[in-house]
A = this chain, B = another copy of it.
């Protein structure tokens, strides 16, 4: 099973949550928001530390209000109140849920109405790369209950808050990147021609769990002759044969944090064209990592990679970007793509993800994860080799 890694301690100190909240409140002032209204698991967990797999159930909404000053206030179903009360929060309100006629709306409206008003605006998760985790019909009711208070798009503020990671967050991401790296490297010891990506992913999942991951929410494994035509659906049941490329990506998860990187394996001998494309994508990754420095934009990072891939004969790809932010979610802003002029800062965690279709339906995509420091990109993953690993 390879090297044992020591996981960082679970959870974060009350001091860390105070710092996160202070940072949030500074950004809220900048965005002229009197409060943030949070409903999604990563946003609630970021600010409270509360974690529950029970969010898998869509029945009950959960709410956390971040005021302009002081600690956040939780408004949660009774089923979650005991554990929410065990967080650093002091003010936990609950109702007997489910209660279809008023599933927390009146309690939440009361909490929002009690807040001091400077701007008359509450930021909610209404914008890009966020899906509000409460019924839209209930949001309408909440708005009706709060005349004079504008519930507006707070997503830009929230993404700014979460976009720069704390040292403790980075150690979480580093750990999950390390154990997934170890597991990827071990895969050729138990996967062979004749196996399917589904079976390979099942065993890889179990290995990642055994190494200390909490879960493996994302692990598509796709095999294709000389490359793959898509990278998001799978695992599939193709019986792997000589000349195939096995592509596996994973978003494995430890204590609230994701890795998101892939590996490509050659099944026996693969074509020279596939090997050339693979080396070109590896070189593009190097260039992307070198370009990901404080002060550069993510568009700059995209540009250096796109140029190399174009020169190497890329006919495109359907991914739409070449990497993105990473943290409590598998993908977070920004996007390494034309038009995203986000300036890279120390503490950001980015994926560097160049890909090229070198022939119709034959795509090679690489991905590594890095944290940005004052000196540039520091790898969190164990860098893939320039040549394919081989399955035989």
Interface residues of A (CB under 8 A from B): 10, 50-54, 56-60, 77-83, 96-100, 103, 124, 126-139, 153, 155, 202, 205-206, 209-210, 215-220, 229-234, 237, 251, 318-321, 324, 329-331, 335, 337, 339-340
Contacts and interface: CB of A to CB of B under 8 A. Distances in A.
A137 to B, nearest CB: 5
Given A56-B218, A206-B206, A320 B97 contact: yes
B54 A232 contact: yes
Contact of A130 (B79, B135, B218, B219): B135
Contact of A135 (B60, B126, B205, B230): B126
Contacts of A54: 218, 220, 232-233
A219 B214 CA distance: 11
A128 B155 contact: no
Contact of A251 (B56, B229, B251, B324): B56
Given A52-B232, A56-B217, A335-B59, A321 B132 contact: no
Contacts of A50: 233
Contacts of A132: 131-132, 136
Nearest to A80: B232
A320 B79 contact: yes
B220 A52 contact: yes
A82 B318 contact: yes
10 contacts: A56-B217, A56-B218, A59-B129, A98-B320, A100-B128, A100-B340, A136-B153, A206-B209, A206-B210, A215-B215
Contacts of A52: 220, 232-233
Contacts of A232: 52-54, 79-80, 83
Contacts of A233: 50-52, 54, 80, 83
A202 to B, nearest CB: 6
Nearest to A77: B320
A230 to B, nearest CB: 4
Nearest to A155: B135
A235 to B, nearest CB: 9
A137 B233 CA distance: 28
A57 B128 CA distance: 12
A83 B222 CA distance: 12
A329 B55 CA distance: 11
A55 to B, nearest CB: 9
A224 to B, nearest CB: 11
Given A58-B129, A97-B320, A136 B135 contact: no
Contacts of A97: 320
A204 B97 CA distance: 30
A91 to B, nearest CB: 18
A329 B57 contact: yes
Given A79-B319, A98-B337, 17 more contacts: A50-B233, A57-B331, A59-B324, A77-B320, A78-B320, A79-B232, A79-B318, A81-B318, A127-B135, A128-B138, A130-B135, A131-B131, A131-B132, A131-B133, A136-B136, A137-B155, A215-B215
